[in-house]
Amino acid sequence: MKTSDKIELLSKLKCVLVDILDEKVWTETTCGLSQELYDSLIDTINREHIYNGWFTRSNILKAFEGIASWLDPLTLENWLSNYKVTSTDKPKTIAVIMAGNIPLVGFHDFISVLLSGHKILAKLSSDDKHLFPKIIEVLAFYDANVIDYIETTDRLAGFDAVIATGSDNSATYFNTYFGKYPHIIRKNRTSIAVLGGTESKSELKQLGHDIFDFFGLGCRNVTQLLIPQDFVLDHFFESIFEFDPIINHNKYANNYDYNKAVYLLNLQELLDNGFILLKEDESLHSPLGVLFYKRYNSKEEIAAYINGNQEKIQAIVGKDYIKFGQSQCPSLTDYADGVDTMAFLTSL
């Protein structure tokens, strides 16, 4: 397949995702997709929470919204124009070990391999093993040739390079087994927000999305606030109050209750608004249902802190950084761990 054919194919997928986001029922003009496949995709979305309680319908649709923003033909062409993408009769096979913390979190790697001209050998996470096959079905409906470039497997073999995403512990394992191959191996990262004290209620409300979207399970979710010494946290609590319904989700509530109990038993000082715990802590990674905060005295102190933790930070939210509410809206060039995936793939 030519790169232009793949871009056209992805634009058709975008059409389907947008129709689902618009809650359209199937018609003969619904992106030309068969009614059986369209309804099957919607059914998969509605049933996914049965297999993974974190994958609610609203979170899957939120993931679709982000993916759809990437699949505009002009957006894809502009992205690829920065690289030397060449067609070859002997494409390499790229093993992609995908995470499963949020729905379709490996989709950027998926399209990167596909558009780079290589074949993808995907090992899906057990936590996200239904959505990708359905997306592949949609692509194959429009062009059966795409199957020549896509394979999913439970056992990796016969690959030329590796892209693996996981925790710090799994990264050690990945390095042991895949270190001899060209590779990108990602470790555990998280995100922070830098507040200056002059943020409006609206900006702090948007920050709530950076904290609570996908239940806080993504590496781009904010898990620590950097705040001035005189920052009043009550102002922050008031601004995020509308995210209160998150506590009605059983799995989130269990984490919140467990962490609250542990901290109270250990006589830890906490601030609690009924759906998230605030704790002053130097650590970047807060447990689920908890948000750490750290007070600072100067901009120089902020810069030093960020510089000292740059290998652990995925995204930074704030007036001088990523806009509030936008941490979960990365562009195609916002590469995980700051490693240019497409440059890696086109250099093989």
3-class DSSP state of 29: coil
Rounded CA Rg of the chain:
21
Mean local confidence (pLDDT), 108-125:
97
pLDDT digits (tens, 9 = 90+) for 277-318: 999 999 999 999 999 999 999 999 999 999 999 999 999 999
User: Would you say 210 and 276 are in contact if contact means Cβ atoms under 8 Å apart?
Assistant: no
User: Would you say 337 and 314 are in contact if contact means Cβ atoms under 8 Å apart?
Assistant: yes
- For residue 323, the model assigns a pLDDT of 97
Using a cut of 0.75, tell me whether the model's pTM lies above it.
yes
The domain made up of 190-318 has a fold known as Aldehyde Dehydrogenase; Chain A, domain 2 (3.40.309)
Q: Where are the beta strands (DSSP E) in 80-154?
A: 93-97, 119-123, 150-152
Pick the CATH number of 3-188 from 3.40.50.150, 3.40.50.1970, 3.40.605.10, 1.25.40.10: 3.40.605.10
Check pLDDT > 80 for residue 245.
yes
Mean local confidence (pLDDT), 62-77:
97
- For residue 169, the model assigns a pLDDT of 86
User: Would you say 202 and 232 are in contact if contact means Cβ atoms under 8 Å apart?
Assistant: no
When pLDDT is cut at 50, 70 and 90, the band that residue 197 belongs to is: very high
- Our measurement of the distance from residue 305's CA atom to the centroid of its chain's CA atoms, rounded to an integer in Å, reads 24
Sequence spans of domains, the chain: 3-188, 190-318
3-class DSSP state of 347: coil
Q: How far apart are CA 216 and CA 328, in angstroms?
A: 10
pLDDT digits (tens, 9 = 90+) for 16-59: 999 999 999 998 777 999 999 999 999 999 999 999 999 999 99
